[in-house]
Amino acid sequence: MGFSSALQSRAAHEALIVRQDAELRLMETMKRSIQMKAKCDKEYAISLTAVAQQGLKIDRADEMQGSLMTKSWRSYMDELDQQAKQFKLNAEQLEVVCEKLTHLSQDKRKARKTYQEEHAKIAARLNHLTDEVVRKKSEYQKHLEGYKALRTRFEEHYIKAPGRSGRKLDDVRDKYQKACRKLHLTHNEYVLSITEAIEVEKDFRTVLLPGLLEHQQSVQESFILLWRNILQEAAQHGDLTSEKYTEIQQRINTVISNINPAEEYGEFTEKHKTSPTTPLLFQFDETLIEDIPGKLQSSTLTVDNLTVDWLRTRLLDLEASVKDCQEKQLKMIEHVNGGSPKANGSIISNGSNTSNGIQSNKDSMCRQSKDLNALRCQEKQKQKLVDMIKCALNEVGCEELPSGCDDHLTLEQNFIENGYNNEQQRSNSTSSPGLGIMNELMRRGGVLTLLRGRGRHFKRKSTPQPTTPMTRSRQGRFNKMQPRSQSLGSLSLSLSTNRPLYEEEWFHGVLPREEVVRLLNNDGDFLVRETIRNEESQIVLSVCWNGHKHFIVQTTGDGHFRFEGPPFPSIQELIMHQYHSELPVTVKSGAILRRPVCRERWELSNDDVVLLERIGRGNFGDVYKAKLKSTKQDVAVKTCRMTLPDEQKRKFLQEGRILKQYDHPNIVKLIGICVQKQPIMIVMELVLGGSLLTYLRKNSNALSTRQQMGMCRDAAAGMRYLESKNCIHRDLAARNCLVDLEHSVKISDFGMSREEEEYIVSDGMKQIPVKWTAPEALNFGKYTSLCDVWSYGILMWEIFSKGDTPYSGMSNSRARERIDTGYRMPTPENTPPEMYRLMLKCWAADAESRPHFDEIYNVVDALILRLDNSH
């Protein structure tokens, strides 16, 4: 058990500091004791030398000439003198050991100080951002109050003096506009500070703090290793050859050799073990915008005339910060690979591999890894903000805002238009009594006065435009439009203006941006689509040109359409002009239209599908039985609720994108998707038997063992096909399988699927079907096809239990606890023993021990064949 996972709490941190202090005191005690021993050895050496000298003073030595006794005595005294010299040498060596212990104590103090400073540094960043979020919220409330007060004054002046103007009125308008701008800017700062705080807090828990603790553990263990070496050296200098001292020395050596740096902190860590720090939740306070009409949305950047310049400037600053982090990382990596190890922050070496103050290569590499992690976290935090701002700018075309477009409205125009539209929508959708402020202004004539002489806020049009002499003269040229780079065969690219835009082959409806990017592969590829932003439809031209660029079609005051060039009465004519003229859509982008990308064969028109009856409900909307007009074929249609955010709509279409490339009798077939208008729909084959789970429960008394095994084989066949395509289903269960009239099972519901050999969940585990999910996926968020094998074992259990609920009577958390301790569900009644053994193999704790679907299919198929032959 290591520091990084067990010592993340504040109490554990303080305990570690206390432990370091205790170790320093122990070093001082050892040093004093070794110094006293050296002093004693020196004094003993002096006394022993005096004894030897005294013993050599033999009276009347001449009379003892040739005496063996005298010779033995002299040798004895000489050896006694040598023993004294050895004691003196040992004492000097012990003084060297004390110096090493002193250096080690100094280095350990420095290491403790460095750890405290770095811990305080990363904690201070989180505390600072926490305070910043609170401060931004306070500023938000302050500007909100000012905004509301000035808005009230603004409304009162227009109601009291409709149609009038003057200095006082202008002053009220200016103050209201400034307050609105301050509110919007503060809103964005609040959103960004929350986003940054979330990233910093997550990195504090998962990267920075564990990295610091892991490094500190390495440092602590390195000191223990050096400390042990010093003790061994001190013990060696006190080693005598007598039997008595040998026994003592053996005991000393045994005790010292038992010191193991890796186990030194085991008991300490267990004693102070705490759970990982609880995540701090940073959430946008939605009460701030409850009473504000318009475009401010929680946790969403507002991009308009008041904020676009500020966002662009902030984007440049953040991109510079990201680049700076990347350059620092590159330098650090080059330094590690090509230069000498960094000295900054490491323990100072005095030149010997066994001397004091040396930190091992492992310690140095650990520090460098920690510093690199800190830079990567900083880069990721800033990149998160960059992506957030870019996404907001892209959504409204602010990456390429054409000059001369009718996009900069005055404050009162935005106020009147948005207010009027909101009131109209409320009056059309509800029957609540009372007039809104804008209806009241209109009733008093204020709106007409304000709008007189000004361009109306444009509404995007997708309806056909009247045919004029000019459009008829261009008709021939429109019908001749062909791609310059590739032939589209018999595909017609007529741009007739007497048909709706959604009938054009290159118009892709409300296809999400991610899907559009998949279609535009070569420079000059383009298509036209529709996007809905703040309940307003906008037509967007998407072009592949040094990346992907998106241009909002601008509307002029007289209802024409344009980019930077001349206006045209229809969108078709505008696109045709850009295509034939080969002029850039905007000078800044340089994007030229070269090849129109037409709808794929599986992009159907919404009008081709007739919804008949609702047959179910999915995660994103209702499921209908429907009919295709062209073939009269009965189909199943999944719809996506119009009110869902774009992110959810993208996840909805992900199932269609995955299914379109699969063709297998045990995989539900995709017929197409409908994105020409709302609601978005996925059209699939209609499997009349319905959900496998419902079928099992309704027909529990009629199901035979042979039919149940056949269902398992069908599911294994479908999953074997998916495994060969590197598709991880992630939600395999009886509720997500369908049964046709011939009792054949088809795998369905690919909303959580991923086309990867291995998939790591990064967006939380909120919608995970816990009782069907493999332990490694629940514990580590790591999915492979072998996770689907675990789920297949649960599916087999559902089939043989005829639709019972797995782990019945247990909560999700209780089931997880039991599984982790080795519990597996008992065999359902009348299950063949071979099939239950296969279930247990699918539920192996070690994923690599589970069979792959090819093996599973072969086993089940062989069992069915044996059953058929026995009958």
d(CA 871, CA 868): 5
Q: CB under 8 Å to 334, separation ≥6 — which residues? A: none
d(CA 442, CA 420): 9
Choosing from 731, 820, 854, 861, which is the catalytic residue? Answer: 731
Q: How far is CA 812 from CA 482, 703, 802, 816, in A?
A: 59, 29, 21, 6
d(CA 138, CA 135): 5
End-to-end CA distance of the chain: 58
d(CA 133, CA 197): 8
Judging by DSSP bridges, how do beta strands 536-544 and 737-739 pair with one another? unpaired
> Is 621 annotated as a binding-site member?
yes
> Is 568 annotated as a binding-site member?
no
Burial class (CB in 10 A: 0-12, 13-18, 19+), 821: exposed
d(CA 677, CA 607): 9
> Is 623 annotated as a binding-site member?
yes
> Is 771 annotated as a binding-site member?
no
- Which among 802, 747, 735, 720 has a CA at the least distance from the CA of 772? 735
Q: Is the dihedral of CA 826, 831, 832, 835 positive or negative?
A: negative
Q: DSSP for 143-175?
A: HHHHHHHHHHHHHHHHHHSTT---HHHHHHHHH
> Is 498 annotated as a binding-site member?
no
> Is 618 annotated as a binding-site member?
yes
Burial class (CB in 10 A: 0-12, 13-18, 19+), 310: middle
d(CA 194, CA 282): 6
8 A C-beta contact, residue 703 and residue 803 = no
> Is 19 annotated as a binding-site member?
no
- Which among 689, 530, 687, 527 has a CA at the least distance from the CA of 596? 527
Q: Does residue 731 have an active-site annotation?
A: yes
> Is 620 annotated as a binding-site member?
yes
Instruction: Give the length of the chain.
Output: 871
Q: DSSP for 189-202?
A: HHHHHHHHHHHHHH
d(CA 42, CA 93): 11
- Which among 791, 821, 820 has a CA at the least distance from the CA of 806? 791
User: Catalytic residue numbers?
Assistant: 731
Binding-site members are 615-623, 638
Binding-site members for ATP are 615-623, 638
